[in-house]
C-alpha cells in the first residue's frame, strides 16, 4: 500500500526551507547513528533526491548536537578504509546521491549530548547557492561497525 509512505514524505517536505530551489532536492530516510554515552562522534545518513534539471551541491551542514558537522567519504588507502573530509557532495540533475555506511556521510564531531535511539536531531544542510534545508532526523540504533580511522 503505497499511500503509507506519503505521510512520512510530507513531513520531510514540510521541514524544507522556503527557498523554492531547495524543494527540488528531497531528503529521504535520514537517520543518525546512536552511539554510546561519551562517544565523541556519530554520523548521519540519508538519500538525496534531485528532481530538478540542474545539479545541486551540498557544501556544508550543521547541528546543535555537535560542535562541527563535516562532509565525509570513505576511501581505501593502502587497503584500509579511511574516512576523509570532502568539500562538497553533488547530487546530479534528476538523480540521487546516497549517504550510507561505508560511503558518503555527515560526520558529527564533538558531540554535546548523548544521542539516544528514538530522539530527534536537527541538521541543517547548506547548498552552494546559499539555500538551506532543515531536517529533523531520528536517532537510530544500527549494527555497530568498527569506526574507520580519520586522516
111 forms part of the interface with Cu ion (CB under 5 A): no
Residue selected from 61, 69, 72, 137 as contacting Cu ion according to rule CB under 5 A: 72
Q: Are 47 and 58 in contact (CB under 8 A)?
A: no
Regarding 56 and contact with Cu ion (CB under 5 A), the answer is no
Structural contact between residues 51 and 40, judged by C-beta atoms closer than 8 angstroms = no
Beta strand extents in 7-131 (DSSP E only): 25-33, 41-50, 56-62, 66-77, 80-85, 89-91, 96-99, 105-111, 120-127
Please report how close the Cβ of residue 70 comes to Cu ion at its closest, in angstroms. Answer: 7
Which of 27, 35, 58, 107 forms a contact with Cu ion (CB under 5 A)? 107
Q: Which residue from 22, 58, 69, 83 is in contact with Cu ion, where contact means CB under 5 A?
A: 83
Note whether 104 binds Cu ion by CB under 5 A.
no
Contact criterion met (CB below 8 Å) for 122 and 53: no
Q: Using CB under 5 A, which of the segments 28-36, 60-68, 107-115, 127-135 binds Cu ion?
A: 107-115
Binding site residues, Cu ion, CB under 5 A:
72, 83, 107
Amino acid at each position: 500500500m503505497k499511500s503509507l509512505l506519503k505521510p512520512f514524505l510530507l513531513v520531510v517536505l514540510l521541514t524544507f526551507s522556503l527557498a523554492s530551489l531547495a524543494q527540488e532536492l528531497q531528503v529521504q530516510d535520514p537517520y543518525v547513528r546512536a552511539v554510546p554515552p561519551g562517544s565523541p562522534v556519530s554520523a548521519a545518513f540519508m538519500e538525496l533526491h534531485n528532481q530538478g534539471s540542474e545539479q545541486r551541491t551540498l557544501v556544508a551542514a550543521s547541528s546543535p548536537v555537535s560542535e562541527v558537522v563535516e562532509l565525509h567519504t570513505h576511501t581505501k588507502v593502502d587497503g584500509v578504509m579511511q574516512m576523509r573530509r570532502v568539500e562538497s557532495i553533488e547530487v546530479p540533475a534528476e538523480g540521487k546521491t546516497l549517504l550510507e555506511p561505508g560511503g558518503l556521510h555527515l560526520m558529527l564531531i564533538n558531540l554535546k549530548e548523548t544521542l539516544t535511539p528514538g530522539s530527534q536531531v536537527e541538521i541543517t544542510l547548506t547548498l552552494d547557492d546559499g539555500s538551506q534545508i532543515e531536517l529533523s532526523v531520528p536517532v537510530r540504533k544500527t549494527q555497530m561497525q568498527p569506526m574507520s580511522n580519520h586522516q
